Structure 1
Amino acid sequence: VLYLGSATGTTPSHVSDIVGEEGLVFCIEFSPRVMREFIERCLPHRKNMIPILADARFPVSYRMYLTEVDVVYADIAQPFQSKIVADNADVYLKSGGWVVQAIKAMSIDVTKEPSETYRREIEHLESRGFGIENVVHLEPYDVAHAFLVAIKK
């Protein structure tokens, strides 16, 4: 799994448990301070997590650390989230692999209604060759957030 936006490691540690000892989770995080906390919290307990301090907007910059992956999981608070996801998938995701994306509408564009942002993110992934399998809106638990699952055609 390529995990974009690993933060301090809470959700990536659950992904680590799911893939088990035979799987790997490549964890991309941009902030050195947050990555330090991730390393302290997760690595003593999970041997299948690979921390990578890098900017997810530039997937080729961490190419030397990764292999081809089955899943790209994105939990990033950035404009152009689906572009970042698709760019990473183009480099690392196997054909027939899965994308799981947390769409944070207000992090993408605060001037648009969340539904418009969701539509644009979905359309971008479709235009890049992904089939959307499911979209779940996370309200009332997370306002203006949706969770998307797609497959690389």
Structure 2
Amino acid sequence: MVANVESHRAFSGIYWITLEDGSQRLATKNLSPGRRVYGERLISWRGVEYRLWDPFRSKLAAAILKDLTTVPIRKNHKILYLGAASGTTASHISDLVGNKGHVYCVEFSARSIRELVNNVCPYRSNITPLFEDARMPEKYLTFVEKVDSVYCDIAQPEQAKILVNNVNIFLKEDGWTMLSVKSQSIDVTKKPTEVYREEVNILKKHGFIIKDIVVLDPYEKAHAMIVSKV
């Protein structure tokens, strides 16, 4: 049994679920009731179905549990997701933006995009899968409209630069970005904190206003989430 469901005090569309053992878990309302994306537990409470959000499988959930102060993803928003993989985090973002919002998912791995197309997209009409390389945004220019936020989670050496290039094309004025930095993908010889600082400096150089930075340990080692206003 579920003991209680409460809205997150800071973030619309995100919930705290108290389980029978007293533990609290993050969750989103399931946009596709009865469907799981990555084996997550489904919870029914007062006629509404929720999906538990695993911070060990989703860097966005990890960042929220590490006291992230800003999640610029809300109902009806349009989001460009760079590096969507098989759709774990993208599916929760799909829950957050709802049927009138949209998530454009760019993924370069054939296996991951196939899983996204086969397992997620048929049950979520607000997700568009794009089998493209985030380093070449001009290739998907005609498929993506202006977005409210760009979420970037790619294992590439030039993560910040790739984000900037996409922002310059797709982000609305006064939009937001979320950059999940994997330090070892950028430079294994440097300390993670040094890599984070360098990525922040690249963003600042291009006019980004840094709003928050959280390190994702213990959920994701050598990762940080950087939230910026543009």
2:229 aligns with 151
Q: Compute the displacement of 1:141 (Å).
A: 1.9
2:91 aligns with 13
2:205 aligns with 127
Matches within 5 A, 1:48-127: 48-127=126-205
Gaps of 5+ in 2: 1-78
Normalising by structure 2, what TM-score?
A: 0.65
Q: Compute the displacement of 1:151 (Å).
A: 0.5
Q: 2: distance between equivalents of 1:107 and 1:41?
A: 28
Q: 2: distance between equivalents of 1:51 and 1:65?
A: 10
Q: 1: distance between equivalents of 2:111 and 2:218?
A: 31
Q: 1: distance between equivalents of 2:110 and 2:188?
A: 27
Normalising by structure 1, what TM-score?
A: 0.97
Secondary structure, counterpart of 2:181 in structure 1: strand
Secondary structure, counterpart of 2:124 in structure 1: coil
1:44 aligns with 122
Q: Compute the displacement of 1:68 (Å).
A: 0.5
Q: Compute the displacement of 1:73 (Å).
A: 0.2
Q: 2: distance between equivalents of 1:137 and 1:94?
A: 27
Q: 2: distance between equivalents of 1:142 and 1:53?
A: 26
User: 1:66-116 CA distances to partner (integer Å, 9 max, x unpaired)?
Assistant: 100000000111101000001000010011100011111011111111011
- Matched letter for residue 74 of structure 1: C
- Matched letter for residue 196 of structure 2: Y
- Matched letter for residue 174 of structure 2: G
Alignment pair present for 1:29 and 2:107: yes
User: 1:26-64 CA distances to partner (integer Å, 9 max, x unpaired)?
Assistant: 000001221111111101211100000100001111101
More helix by share: 1
More contact order relative to length (CA 8 Å, sep ≥ 6)? 1
User: 1:3-45 CA distances to partner (integer Å, 9 max, x unpaired)?
Assistant: 0001000100000010000101000000122111111110121
Q: 1: distance between equivalents of 2:195 and 2:82?
A: 20
Q: 1: distance between equivalents of 2:143 and 2:198?
A: 31
Which of 1 and 2 has greater Rg?
2
Gaps of 5+ in 1: none
- Give the superposed CA RMSD: 0.7
Greater than 3 Å deviation, 4+ residue runs: none
Secondary structure, counterpart of 2:150 in structure 1: strand
- Matched letter for residue 73 of structure 1: Y
Q: 2: distance between equivalents of 1:126 and 1:95?
A: 17
